[in-house]
Amino acid sequence: MLEKRDFYINGQWVAPIDGTDHHVIDPSTEEPTTIISLGGKADADAAVAAAKAALSGWMATPVADRIALVEKLIEVYQARAEDMAAAMSAEMGAPIDMSRSQQVGAGTYHLQNFIRAAKEFEFSRPLGDHAPNDRIIYEAVGVAALITPWNWPMNQVTLKVGAAAIAGCTMVLKPSEESPLNAMIFAEMMDEAGFPAGVFNMVNGDGPGVGTALSGHPDVDMVSFTGSSRAGKLISKNAAETLKRVHLELGGKGANVIFDDADDKAVKRGVLHMMNNTGQSCNAPSRMLVQRGKYDAAVEEAAAVAGKVTVGPASEEGRHIGPVVNEVQWTKIQDLIQKGIDEGAKLVAGGPGRPEGFNKGFYVRPTVFADVNNEMTIAREEIFGPVLSIIPFDTEEEAVEIANDTPYGLTNYVQTQDGARRNRIATQLRSGMVEMNGTSRAAGAPFGGMKQSGNGREGGIWGIEDFLEVKAVSGWAAE
């Protein structure tokens, strides 16, 4: 495992100014896997100062050169893929095969999509034929604070760093203290790729310390945060004093609407999607809405599918799911499973406690509740574990009403062979994304939500635009 390192600021690894030691716990064993330093306000200030000093030079760097550095980063990233996979597996519990394919693979995927989008994007363009002397210029927002979560570490780091780098922003990354090792490897990659000193900086810390210092810092022009809605609200309040841009990717409580005419694999697909990454995904289809004619069969099938989902250590190869990230999350999930039982939902798979054969590690039984109604706690709160709630409905109108009856609005799912109905429902669902019949969003499609799932969009050209200001110039001289 990675040896203890400090912070990456202004192109160098530096010791913390006011750091404290922090043990990173392997959730499969509950044992420390390494020790890092958590910084404080002085460390955040040093990183922001480095980013601010580098901003003018990086903004003036031709876009083609910025793109070329991201292309070099992909080469370095791919060469270090196994190191990255091992780090994420040990620190947040992704099974090693899943870590190699999905967790590491997400980073390559997003960086490649940014490069494709950037090469087609006009950073300076005419307003229109009616105004030959007016110009629209897209330029960097400025210094960006990037605060990333533990559940999909490289997915979120690359979505933010790749877009910010191409846009011309300088940045300070604060990864989650639960999964910091991947970010430290990533900082090594940025250094090896040749990004100029100060363009990318990385400081480990927790939310109340470094997170608060960055979101309220007067020299930070933008905060891009992925995490809980609770933390997103606190960041927004803290950032409001300096009127900086705040980009939030928050929680979800996705509805997976399965009609009577859904394809034969719809239920199985929905259960396995829910259990992927041990349910620790903001876009998980955690509410399965099933039309009455298919309901009993769907409940039986969902229970059977969940019963075949195996649980095991993250270090072992295979298609099992691993533990959840820590004891706090494990306890929260157990409390919510018990809440589901207490409120009268029908437990058809899994339940409280660790799976059979485990007396250590933050393992959760793949759990399915049937006969849930949308007022139950398990249908309202984001559980962030392998727990599925099945809710019956009768009509299309009722399905849309239930799906939209949530404070969240990230991803919803629709399963029906009726094309007109699919299209009709997609326009009625209040979510930033709708995926239908198992079709994933295409490369470069925007990721983001509505309501308490946040604002802004990540990925492709929309992700780059989130880090850009729009400048209108009149009197532009003909070239």
Catalytic residues: 249, 282
HSE at residue 160, side-chain half, CA atoms within 13 A, is 33
Give 133's contacts (C-beta < 8 A, 6+ positions apart). 474, 475, 476, 477, 478
Q: Computed from CA positions of residues 266, 379, 305, 273, in that sequence, does the dihedral angle turn out positive or negative?
A: positive
| CA 376 and chain centroid, separation | 26
| 279 DSSP assignment | G
CA trace torsion 240, 241, 242, 244 (10° rounding): 0
CA 253 to CA 286: how far, in whole Å? Answer: 6
Name residue, tokens 């997976």: 256
CB of 223 within 8 A of CB of 144?
yes
Q: Computed from CA positions of residues 96, 97, 102, 107, in that sequence, does the dihedral angle turn out positive or negative?
A: positive
CB of 231 within 8 A of CB of 360?
no
HSE at residue 462, side-chain half, CA atoms within 13 A, is 14
Percentages of the chain per state (helix, strand, coil), in multiples of 5: 40, 20, 35
Instruction: At 139, give phi and psi (nearest 5°).
Output: -135, 165
Q: Say how many Å lie between the first and final Cα of the chain, rounded.
A: 55
CB of 103 within 8 A of CB of 149?
no
* Residue 362 identity: F
Helix axes 181-193, 153-167, angle to 10 degrees: 30
Rounded CA Rg of the chain = 23
